[in-house]
Amino acid sequence: MIRRLIRNPRFILGFIVLACLLISSFALTNMTVPKANELQYGSNHEVTAVAPFPPSAQHWFGTNDQGEDELFLVIQGVKYTIGYALAVAICRLLISTALGILYGLYAKKSRRLFQAFIRPFRFIPAVLLALIFLTLLPGIWLSLLVTIFIAVPVLTEIIGEDVRHQLQQEHIIPSKLMGASRFHLLRKHLWPFLAPRLTLHFLQQIAQVLLLMLHLGILEITLFQTYDLTYYISNFYTKLMTTTWEIYTPVLVFFLLLCSFQLLVKGVESVLSAPPLEKRPLKVTTPPAAQPVPLSFKFMK
Amino acid sequence: MALRKLIGELCLTFCIIVVISAAPGLLSSDTLDFHRFYEMVQRILYTFVHWQDATFILNTNEYKIFPDVFDHYTYMLILLGSALACSLLLAMILVIVTLLLPQFLKNAVNAVVSMLSAIPDVFFIFALQLIIIWIYRSTGILFIDPLATTFEPVYLFPIIALCIYPTLFLFQLTLQSFEDELTKPYVEFAKGKGLSYFSIFLHHIFRNTLLSLFQSFKQLFWFMLGNLLLIEYMFNIQGFMYFFRTYYSPELFAICLLFLFLTFFFFFYIAEGLLASYHRKRGLVMKGGFYD
């Protein structure tokens, strides 16, 4: 699968953009922010301009109100955003895969019950839930918990239904009849089917978490108190009317980030839906022709 | 029997709504605070029983929720319904036009749409807002008052903002299912009989793909509700979501969730019942329904 992903142009494009962002973000970690003077003076020492400055030749994307370069700050913040999204997506996936496999293996009559249980999560928008919980209860750990558990019910159902569907396939039944244990079924039949799907779910979850972070950022909630992308977006509304460039930069970088993840998702999707490569024809090795065994007797005339 | 099960499930969903809206009380202190949680559940249930007396607090004054909330609610329904209808119509027109195009243009349209759908919806809203400001600067017409403090229903821009993503989504889905449907033998037969392209479309393909389209509506509805919250915030419209956000209390939140649930339930339950009976009449078995 990896070899085919490398050949997929969309996957490669997304991967390159993402890698560039991450590498530059880590490279800039310990560097001091290029800074312009907050006040600029004319020839008679009068103040001609006050930070934030609009985009200029020195600062392509403008500066913030301390005169610091906007693009530099935003790129520095990218790694925190990606790290948070990764952590949340991994936790979501681990929890809901475990629950989903349990659901797929054991749920028979309790299926409807479970579906009724997760129904509220199918119509309450995640943003609304996160908004209510996070405005009331701020804190890093709690925000992490909330962002993880918002998606778990629905994801559990998706994975669980996949597992259940796969366990009803025709080739499973003989295996069961011959006495395969549940663990054997999981390892031999389910895992090869589930693993590529989980990769897809993983990428989709990262994109979803990023989107949720963006939405919460616009609603002026920062998930954690570092200078990440959502922090720069969260003062959105007041800046939109006055110093628009301060918004453009984080929004643009966020856009790049989301697009690259979408490209990754599309790439994996197209690889998964493509028909499997034709296997190389097996080499037919003919056994060497049997040597004529010397007879230990003679025909007599 | 089926009715009893349905009622049982509804009760369960109702209980979960109550639990979700009381859950902030459980987590409010460092330890799990069951006493407060229990109190909140009681308050919510009390509000449901005496729903006429439910109030919200604004500047230390108490106001009654009902019947004012119905204005906000119908406004939300109008927005959602018209956005959905618009996007369905647009997507259909686009799909039919796209199918008439030659192959290389079709591929181009596909590529453009899949690129557009990768852009998060917020950026479209952002662009729309800039457009509104630009219109105001150049002509002096203000479509949405960004400093409004009272509830005034505005329709044009919220609907445009709401229907961008569903249009792209439905377009992709419809194009895919139409193309799958076009390869089936009955289409060839119909063509051979001399039926026109459009009649095949309207009478056969559209009907046959309606079900798969409909099943994506649930996801769309969920998505649009989240979008509506953002749109109301960014355009400063005092709509349904905004109302419950600014005057938050557990009881209000529970009422909000109940409203959303009832809308969702009735819309999908009735529509799915209609679809199922229609398909049964035609001798088709429907699978994967929501309440089947």
Number of other CB atoms surrounding residue A124 within 10 Å: 24
CA distance A236 to chain B (A): 9
Number of other CB atoms surrounding residue B270 within 10 Å: 10
> Where in chain B are all domains bearing CATH 1.10.3720?
71-248
Asked if B133 lies within 8 A of A241 by C-beta distance, the reply is yes
pLDDT in tens, A200-238: 999 989 988 988 888 888 887 777 667 777 777 776 566
Cβ contacts of A258 on chain B, cutoff 8 Å: 118-120
Which residues, 6+ apart, have CB-to-CB distance to B168 below 8 Å? B113, B116, B117
Cβ contacts of B257 on chain A, cutoff 8 Å: 120, 124
> What's the pLDDT at B291?
41
Amino acid found at A281: P
Asked if B122 lies within 8 A of A237 by C-beta distance, the reply is no
Give Rg (Cα) of chain B: 23
* Closest Cβ–Cβ partner in A116, A214, A262 for B118: A262
Q: Is the model's pLDDT at A245 over the cut of 80? A: no
CA distance B258 to chain A (A): 10
Phi, psi of A48 (to 5 degrees): -100, -30
In chain B, whose CA is at the least distance from the CA of A138? B28
Handedness of CA B113, B117, B121, B123 (dihedral sign): negative
DSSP secondary structure string, A6-66? HH-HHHHHHHHHHHHHHHHHHHTTTSPPPB--SEEE-TTS-EEEESSPPP-SSSTT-B-TT
Asked if B24 lies within 8 A of A137 by C-beta distance, the reply is yes
Cβ contacts of A122 on chain B, cutoff 8 Å: 218, 222, 264
Domain-by-domain residue ranges, chain A? 77-259
Give A292's strand partners.
Answer: none
Which residues, 6+ apart, have CB-to-CB distance to A277 below 8 Å? A4
User: How many CA atoms are closer than 13 Å to the CA of B68, on its beta-carbon side?
Assistant: 14
pLDDT mean over A281-296:
71
Asked if A120 lies within 8 A of B257 by C-beta distance, the reply is yes
What is the longest distance spanned by two Cα atoms in chain A?
134
In chain A, whose CA is at the least distance from the CA of B242? A128
Provide the 8-state DSSP code for A179. Answer: T
> What's the pLDDT at A276?
63
Assess if CATH 1.10.3720 describes domain B71-248: yes
Tell me the C-alpha distance between A27 and A182, whole Å. 48
Looking at the complex, does the CB of residue A252 fall below 8 Å from at least one CB of chain B? no
Interface test with B, best of A10, A18, A124, A261 (most B CBs within 10 A): A124
pLDDT mean over A8-36:
84
Give A39's strand partners.
Answer: A50
| pLDDT by residue, tens only, chain B of 292 residues | 678 888 888 888 888 888 888 887 777 666 677 888 888 888 888 888 877 777 776 666 677 777 777 888 888 889 888 998 999 899 988 888 888 888 889 888 888 888 888 777 888 888 888 888 888 888 877 777 766 666 777 788 888 888 888 999 899 888 888 888 888 888 888 888 888 877 887 788 877 777 778 778 888 888 888 888 888 888 878 778 777 777 777 888 888 888 888 888 888 878 777 877 777 777 655 544 444 3
Looking at the complex, does the CB of residue A135 fall below 8 Å from at least one CB of chain B? yes
Do residues A91 and A83 make contact, with C-beta atoms less than 8 angstroms apart? no
> What's the pLDDT at A235?
66
Average pLDDT over chain A reads: 81
* Closest Cβ–Cβ partner in B20, B118, B218 for A259: B118
Q: Which one is predicted more confidently, A48 or B163?
A: B163
* Closest Cβ–Cβ partner in B27, B123, B248 for A137: B27
In the CATH scheme, what is the code of domain A77-259? 1.10.3720.10
| DSSP 3-state of B109 | helix
